[in-house]
Each structure stands twice: as structure tokens, then as C-alpha cells.
Amino acid sequence: LGLSGPPGAGKSTFIECFGKMLTERKYKVSVLAVDPSSSTSGGSLLGDKTRMTELSRDMNAYIRPSPTSGTLGGVTRTTNEAILLCEGGGYNVVLVETVGVGQSEFAVADMVDMFILLLPPAGGDELQGIKRGIIEMADLVAINKADGDLIVPARRIQAEYVSALKLLRKRSKVWRPQV
């Protein structure tokens, strides 16, 4: 599964909760987390592993943070090979978390079985994200952080994306993206 979305959408938190649910069901889970690299030093904070504290201690989970090292598209130059290595290593589920992305960084969509776009409610101009690009590539749009005061904005953005997806050309004859 490829997971993408803007910074602050809750990708790491979602992966930790989803990953723990999978390991409790006896799946072996691999997380390939991609972090942006500094244009000055080339380094990266690789903070995703520290945000997934419970999952990182789980014996049925493997978390590999990697810097983009200047690669565009939200992934690293070797993400596809890393997916194959994880599958070969016996991991049932491989989750690829891209860098916090915009509208044209969706290279992971061609590397995974399902591409999930994670969006927060009330993030500003909701329809701004509905442009040809990342939204066309999504197999599933998940509105995250949809609780408390954000329930109403979450339902509104869900309705907007459902309507907008009807206007986009379908990538598949058998699957219609869900929101």
C-alpha cells in the first residue's frame, strides 16, 4: 500500500495504528518511510520511526526510514527495490509512506497494489487539491482526523471529493476510487 498526503495529514499516526492492527492479526508488516532531504546537507531527520514508537518495538514489524536524496515523486530512487526485498523477506504487507506531497508527486502509485491519499479536513481551500495529478492516481481517498470539531468539515470535504472524482477520467474499468 502506498500512502501519501500533505504534511500534517497524519500519515505516520495512521500507519502506526493500521500496522499494529495488522501485526495483532499475525501479519508481518514492513514500513518504508520516505523523508525529505536537506538541499544544503543532503541529510534527513528520518523522524517517521520515532513517531511510530509502538510499531517500531513490534517483532512482526520492520520500519525503514529513507531520505529522498533529491529524488522527485515522493519516494527514493530505490523504493521499488526495497518493496521487492521486503516481500522476499516474508513481509505480508508493505506500507510505503511518501514524503508530505503536493499535487504531482505520486510515483509510488505505480509501485503498489493500492494508492491511498490521506487528507486532513479543514486544511484550507479543499478543492485546491482536486487537480489532475495525485487525486487522479488515488485508489482510495481517506479523510483523516475526522473527530471532535472536525467531523463536520470532514464530511464536507468527503462530499466535495466524491463529487470531484465523478468528473475525473477513470484509471480502471473495474475499480472506482472511494472516499
What are the boundaries of each domain within the chain? Answer: 2-84+103-167
Strand order in the sheet with 29-35: 61-67, 29-35, 93-97, 2-4, 115-119, 140-143
For 97, the enclosing helix (H) or strand (E) is strand 93-97
Going by C-beta distance under 8 Å and a sequence separation of 6 or more, which residues neighbour residue 15? 3, 31, 33, 52, 55, 95, 97
pLDDT at 70: 60
pLDDT at 45: 52
User: Do the beta carbons of residue 23 and residue 61 sit within 8 Å?
Assistant: yes
Which CATH code of 2.60.40.1730, 3.40.50.300, 1.20.1440.230, 3.60.20.40 fits the domain covering 2-84+103-167? 3.40.50.300
**What is the C-alpha R_g of the chain?**
16
pLDDT at 28: 98
pLDDT at 44: 46
User: Do the beta carbons of residue 108 and residue 4 sit within 8 Å?
Assistant: yes
The pLDDT profile of the chain, 179 residues, written as one tens digit per residue, is: 999 888 888 888 999 999 999 999 999 999 998 876 555 555 445 555 567 889 999 999 999 887 665 655 566 677 889 999 999 999 999 999 887 665 556 677 888 999 999 988 876 555 555 455 778 888 999 999 888 899 999 999 899 888 888 887 777 788 888 99
